[in-house]
Structure 1
Amino acid sequence: MRRHAGAVVALTGLLALAGCGAGGGTPDPKAKTPDKAPLTWTFDHIAEGSGRITDLAALAPDDIWAVAAGNAASAPARLLHYDGGRWRSDPLPEALARTQYPPRLEQLGEDTVWLRTEAVETNPTGNAWLTWDGTRWSPVANPPTGLVGDIEATGPEDIWAVGADRRSVRHWDGTRWSSHRVPHTVEDLAVAGPDDVWTAGYRTTGPGTEAVHGEPYDQPATAHWDGAAFTSVETPQYRFPDPVPPEPGAGLQMLFVRGDGEVRAFGTHSYNHGEVENEPGDESVRLRWDGTRWRDLPPEQGGCADRPPVLDEGKGLVLDGNWYVTDAGTCVKIKRERLPGSTGARAGSKQSLWLESVLRVPGTDTVIGAGHVQVNQSGAPFSAPVVVRLEGKA
């Protein structure tokens, strides 16, 4: 999900079920969510076939893109677009039609979206980078060369991308690409603003990494862009009490920037389970940058606990796993609609919602997500690709 980033007013009348949707009704444009209705994911689009939506980007309420992938090898990925009236399903552009994995959408600011080869493709020289010009997908004029991982940007002239080696970050300044070494292995990248760029991951050298059972004890690591280079930032260290379990290590897997610019980092402190008795518990790493140093971020209450955020909605955080925590600390489980019977889902089926991406639609308070509903039922399980919107109040 990022991500990215990587967003509760309903998208009433904006994302009607139509076109390639499989049943489920059309929302009433005049309908209003009751003031005390609980937070609920409601369906805006149910795409045809069994599969999932792998990525999502929104340039405007009438310009929303998604990538859908089928579960069968014979079902190629396709591109979904919402134009303000209906969802349309189209084949991928020819340059991406034969890629091994579903392509990724990269939103660069509020006006630019790229469609590009997934970073794990095995033929980096054949990677395709396309941009939407309002009418068609055309080649990006100056894409990064080779494979790159996570991409973050403040706009089309300030783009940052993790290098394939995960030890470098590339930057596009509107004129050229430059490459910059990072003093640790990079797992995530975040741009809080111009010249306010962070990396997070782990290191295998330095304080706290002394070998245990013959292997280095990985430690969390962060670095910050100072305008000329990425500089290491002191990050808390972790260690299990003796006897230390086998293959221990800690690291950061995710960075998150709140709407006010506060940077948070999330990771784990774990080991290779199943080799010793009386195993210690894994530990969540939760950090908050206070402007001068990293500080521990206490876990949330109840089911929100150690769940990382996926979107700052403005009055609280949408968390991984369909949870929500208000700025006052109230933890809420987000409810969800069930698929209509027209999709093949039976009344007694077990259904679960899995979201790959959650975002706010620019110029609105609307929050949408995309992923799939897993339907487990005797003889005919399937997954339905869906776009959902967040309605109600916490």
Structure 2
Amino acid sequence: MSTKEKGITMSIGRHALGVLAIVSVALTAAAPAASSHPPRNGISTGTASPSGEESAGPRWQPFDLPVLEHANLTGVTAIGRDDAWAVGFTVPDKTIAGPAAAEADQCDAGGLPSLALHWDGASWSQVPVPNLGRINSVSASGRRNVWAAADCGVLRWDGQTWTRTTPVPIPGTDGYFLSGIKAISAYDVWLSGFAWDGTTGDDRGFVQHWDGVRWQLVALPALGDNFDISSVDAGGRQDVWIAGTDYTGKDTTGEKLLILHWNGYGWKQFPAPAITMVIQRVARVRVVAANDVWIAGRGQRDPYGWDINRPLVLHWDGAAWTDTHAPEERGDLRDIASDGRMVLAAGDTYSPLDDTYEAYARRWTGAGWIPAAVPAPGLASISALAPSPDGGMWAVGSVGDETTMRPFIARTAH
């Protein structure tokens, strides 16, 4: 797979089942776990976990959603008890299939239209949004300052309507993927992503900053000839973290994680802990506190990718990054979050060696990772997590196969 194709594949959002509506793959859903309550939207309130292991909290409460057949949720953020957003995309024509469709859809707003849902404390409802294609990430600093990164630009909610903004073009590239966004205030928003060069096949990671008026590229240190920036998060104006992967020497030395911190004046790169996996991909960097930052993703031992995806979780304690030694098992992490009572890492069990998979979640005990309940049984993927200011945690994603795909939203009971 070329670097450009890799970027396109990432933007499709396979992990959240969107690809099931694009690529014709025969998948068989696992049987739902037993529940004493009838499922809503096909989601059980039981505590099923991958591989049949007994799970340990949390207990998930699913929510009714607008009728959204063939839709996918990829991001979630919570501002208050009665104010949260979930974003993603819809698939208007489930008959689209094959790599050509994926190629044509890259930054084609008509391909997979933008989707935004709002929680008002009582129910979720769909809110009109300019169509910029798939929405990949969402972040809010307040009720009137919500930002979302999509395939074809950036969206902003001012409390009444969604409007679009245009990030700075990356010179000498043939396309880009916006991987993450973090809103600190209306005058301080960070955007991460990578662009690709169709001639060399290399990726070029970038970071942009919104100052209240416009987007500006933020200079990065020399990070190699071929790298991406996969996620951004911040604890404040002088506490911004970005993370990605350096592919420059992957054929000889394997991939290397990139971890950088912004202190308000410049970047400092931190060494990643030694990891035995030669493929190292970041899905999310999450700031809980200045001395409590997490990175979640996946790794593989085969340099050519013919291996199971294994969960990858790193932790910053204020002094150094360490490997938390996630379980040696199938697990492809898409997000990690803390609600103040627990740290939860989630995704799915997809593997290049097996097309069947289910939602995956592990909870941190302080000494290691244990199985945790998942919000959706059977064929499912958890795309994003978000702590709720009133306690608990939101989770979003998709369930079902290419003919029954539908989004889910659930929250831990508290």
Q: TM-score range by the shorter chain?
A: 0.5 to 0.7
Provide the C-alpha distance between the structure 2 equivalents of 1:304 and 1:220, rounded to a whole number of angstroms.
20
Q: Distance in 2 between matches of 1:292 and 1:150?
A: 25
CA contact (8 A) 1:352 1:373 kept: yes
The residue that corresponds to 2:318 in the other structure is 291
Is contact 1:223–1:233 with CA below 8 Å preserved after alignment?
A: yes
Question: Could you tell me which amino acid in structure 1 is paired with residue 410 of structure 2?
Answer: V
- 5+ residue gaps, structure 1, are 2-20, 25-36, 122-126, 241-247, 339-350
Q: Alpha-carbon deviation of 1:42?
A: 2.2
1:59 is aligned to 2:84:
no
2:232: which partner in 1? 189
Instruction: Measure, in 1, the Cα distance between the counterparts of 2:188 and 2:42.
Output: 42
Q: Is the 8 A contact 1:112 1:132 kept in 2?
A: yes
- Displacement after TM superposition at 1:169 (Å): 1.7
Separation (CA, whole Å) in 1 of partners of 2:309 and 2:117:
40
Alpha-carbon offset, residue 294 of structure 1: 2.7
1:331 aligns with 2:353: no
- Report the Cα distance in structure 2 between the residues aligned to 1:132 and 1:259, rounded to whole angstroms: 26
Q: Does 1:374 align with 2:413?
A: no
Cα-to-partner distance string for 1:350-385 (whole Å, 9 max, x where unaligned): x344222221233x0132222223269xxxx51232
Q: Give the SS at the match of 1:181.
A: coil
Q: How far 1:202 sits from its partner (Å)?
A: 3.1
* Partner residue in 1 for 2:119: 82
- Is the Cα contact below 8 Å between 2:149 and 2:180 reproduced in 1? no
Cα distance change, pair 236–174 in 1 and its aligned pair in 2 (3 A):
same
User: Structure 1 residues 171, 87: CA separation in 2 closer, same or farther (over 3 Å shift)?
Assistant: closer
1:315 aligned residue (341, 355, 358):
341
Do the aligned partners of residues 352 and 288 (structure 1) sit closer, same or farther apart at CA in structure 2, a change above 3 Å counting? same
- State the SS of the aligned residue for 2:219: strand
Once the 2 structures are TM-superposed, how far is the Cα of residue 312 of structure 1 from its aligned partner? 0.5
Measure the CA separation in 2 of the matches of 1:66 and 1:265. 22
**Equivalence for 1:170:** 208
What SS does structure 1 have at the residue aligned with 2:142?
coil
Taking a change above 3 Å as real, the CA distance of residues 270 and 182 of structure 1, as seen in their structure-2 partners, is: farther
Residue 291 of structure 1, CA deviation: 2.9
Deviation (angstroms), 1:222: 2.2
What's 2:219 paired with?
Answer: 180
Matching of residue 110 in structure 1 with residue 142 in structure 2:
yes
- State which structure, 1 or 2, has the greater radius of gyration over its C-alpha atoms: 1
1:309/1:317 contact within 8 Å kept: no
SS of aligned partner of 1:47: coil
Q: Secondary structure at the match of 2:265?
A: coil
1:279-310 CA distances to partner (integer Å, 9 max, x unpaired)?
A: 9x98765433343333332336x989996762
Q: Does the 8 A contact of 1:103 with 1:116 survive in 2?
A: yes
Answering whether residue 376 of structure 2 is matched by residue 361 of structure 1, we say no
Query: Per the alignment, do residues 327 and 194 of structure 1 end up closer, same or farther by CA in structure 2, a change over 3 Å counting?
Result: same
Distance (Å, rounded) in 2 between the aligned partners of 1:151 and 1:370: 17
Q: In 2 relative to 1, CA 259–228 (structure 1 residues): closer, same or farther, beyond 3 Å? A: closer
Secondary structure of the 1:45 match is coil
Aligned AA for 1:137? W
| Deviation for aligned residue 1:336 | 4.5
- Contact map agreement 1:251 1:269 (CA 8 A) in 2: no
Which runs of 5 or more residues in structure 2 are unaligned? 1-9, 11-39, 44-55, 95-111, 170-175, 196-203, 347-359
- Residues of 1 paired with 2:207 and 2:214: CA distance? 14
Instruction: Give SS of 1:39's match.
Output: coil
Q: Which residue of 2 aligns with 1:228?
A: 265
Alignment root-mean-square deviation, CA: 4.1
1:270 aligns with 2:301: yes
Residue in 1 aligned with 2:159? Answer: 134
Task: Tell me the matched-pair count.
Answer: 313
After TM superposition, the structure 1 = structure 2 runs for residues 21-60 of structure 1, keeping only pairs within 5 Å, are: 39-51=58-70, 52-60=72-80
Q: Give the aligned residue type for 1:187.
A: S
Match of 1:322, as an amino acid? Answer: A
Name the aligned partner's letter for residue 374 of structure 1: G
Q: 1:133 to 1:187 in 2, by over 3 A?
A: closer
Instruction: Tell me if the contact between 1:48 and 1:385 (Cα under 8 Å) persists in the aligned partners.
Output: no
Call closer, same or farther: CA 1:211–1:337 in 2, change over 3 Å.
closer
In the alignment, the residues of structure 1 paired with residue 399 and residue 305 of structure 2 have an alpha-carbon distance, to the nearest angstrom, of 33
Deviations, residues 332-352 of structure 1 (Å, cap 9, x unaligned): 4315477xxxxxxxxxxxx34
Equivalent pair of 2:380/2:398 in contact (CA under 8 Å): yes
Q: Which has the higher helix share?
A: 2
Task: Give the structure 1 partner of residue 242 of structure 2.
Answer: 199
Output the CA distance in 2 between the equivalents of 1:274 and 1:62.
Answer: 43
Secondary structure, counterpart of 1:167 in structure 2: strand
Greater RCO (Cα-Cα under 8 Å, separation 6 or more): 1
Deviation sequence 1:161-184 (CA, Å, 0-9, x none) = 125434332223446644212432
The match for 2:23 is none
Q: Matched residues in 1 for 2:265 and 2:256: separation?
A: 25
Does structure 2 conserve the Cα–Cα contact (< 8 Å) formed by 1:259 and 1:314? no
Query: Contact conserved, 1:50 with 1:384, CA < 8 A, in 2?
Result: yes
Map 1:236-247 to 2 at 5 A: 236-237=273-274
SS of 2:150 mapped into structure 1: coil
Aligned to 1:257: 287
